[in-house]
Amino acid sequence: SEAGSVGESVNYKITGIDPGAGIMEATERAITDYELDKWDLVSGSGAAMTAALKKAYDAEKPIIITGWTPHWKFAKYDLKYLEDPKGSYGGEEEIHTIGRTGLQEDLPEAHQILSNFSWSEEDMGEIMIAIQEGEKPEVAAQNWVDANADKIAVWTDGVEKVNGDAIKLAYVAWDSEIASTNVMKIVLEDMGYKVTTVQVEAGPMWTAVADGSADASLAGWLPLTHATYAEKFDGKFEDLGASMTGVKIGLVVPSYMDITSIEDLQE
Ligand code: PBE
């Protein structure tokens, strides 16, 4: 086009998030798979990425981000995933709850609730959007809990309350996991637990569950996003199952950009 290539328009820069995120590894793989030799993946954080997205979007400028669903950005902006014919980002992903070895013996009620935990993209979306609009995470989560007693009753069905047992949940400051972790904190507190949440990077999160310094995390993205972590710690954690299916990672751009595929970045 008269403006030159997409690469030139964004200085061959993909706006990434925290270096330990699985989507960063997948993006390095995409750069190799699609021979995007001139391109750089710039790391930062989820918050810095959404700030850069807002700035570009408001000015209708081009930007390429590492994006994932569920995320409030798709409600707020008109965005699209770039097609990924080589499959660098896998297919349908799932969000898994992971627990430390011995959790079932030590905290059987929590183990049961965490194993039962499952909700929809819409559920999580309500909380993410409320937080994005300025609500405190714990308040947004409490409002959702108050309005969804029926769903929580399914997670806690037949589970006895406990009397102040301590449990520690590790999470990463991704918008999706801020929402889920804040909800589970309230659910477990209502069941009598003393809940600590600890915010860490992705590598330390998996390490903490594997070495038992955290009891569980709601932030395991599988089969592909966190495959490197899951393989590294194979046998050292328990997969408590999917809390959400049909989630996704990839490269995301504003819909006004005139490209459709990662292959278009080769030009
Ligand atoms: N995410 C959100 C994470 C998992 C949750 C897609 C940014 C990641 O890439 O590891």
Over residues 39-57, the pLDDT tens digits come to: 999 999 999 999 999 999 9
Strands 40-42 and 13-15, how do they pair?
A: parallel
Helix (H, G, I), strand (E, B) or coil at 19: coil
* Residue 230, amino acid: A
pLDDT (tens place) for every residue of the chain, 267 residues total: 445 799 999 999 999 999 999 999 999 999 999 999 999 999 999 999 999 999 999 999 999 999 999 999 999 999 999 999 999 999 999 999 999 999 999 999 999 999 999 999 999 999 999 999 999 999 999 999 999 999 999 999 999 999 999 999 999 999 999 999 999 999 999 999 999 999 999 999 999 999 999 999 999 999 999 999 999 999 999 999 999 999 999 999 999 999 999 999 998
Tokens of 170: 């590790």
Closest to 197 measured CA to CA, from 258, 138, 124: 138
175 C-beta neighbours (distance < 10 Å), count: 21
Ligand 1 centre distance from Cα of residue 71 (Å): 10
Closest to 102 measured CA to CA, from 243, 230, 238: 238
CA–CA separation, 176 vs 259, rounded Å? Answer: 27
- Tell me if 116 CB under 6 Å of ligand 1: no
pLDDT at 1: 46
Asked if 5 and 210 count as a contact pair (C-beta separation under 8 A), the reply is: no
pLDDT at 3: 57
- Tell me if 181 CB under 6 Å of ligand 1: no
Tokens of 55: 């700035």
- Tell me if 41 CB under 6 Å of ligand 1: no
DSSP letter assigned to residue 43: P
- Tell me if 72 CB under 6 Å of ligand 1: no
Q: Where are the beta strands (DSSP E) in the chain?
A: 13-15, 40-42, 65-69, 79-81, 93-100, 166-171, 194-199, 216-222, 237-254
pLDDT at 179: 98
Write the ipTM. 0.97
Q: How far is CA 218 from CA 44, 49, 107, 231, in A?
A: 22, 22, 16, 18
- Tell me if 119 CB under 6 Å of ligand 1: no
* Residue 251, amino acid: L
Asked if 82 and 250 count as a contact pair (C-beta separation under 8 A), the reply is: yes
pLDDT at 60: 98
Pinpoint the alpha helices (H) of 59-148.
73-76, 103-106, 108-116, 121-132, 137-147
Ligand 1 centre distance from Cα of residue 21 (Å): 5
Ligand 1 centre distance from Cα of residue 119 (Å): 17
pLDDT at 4: 78
- Tell me if 229 CB under 6 Å of ligand 1: no
Distance, CA of 18 to chain centre: 12
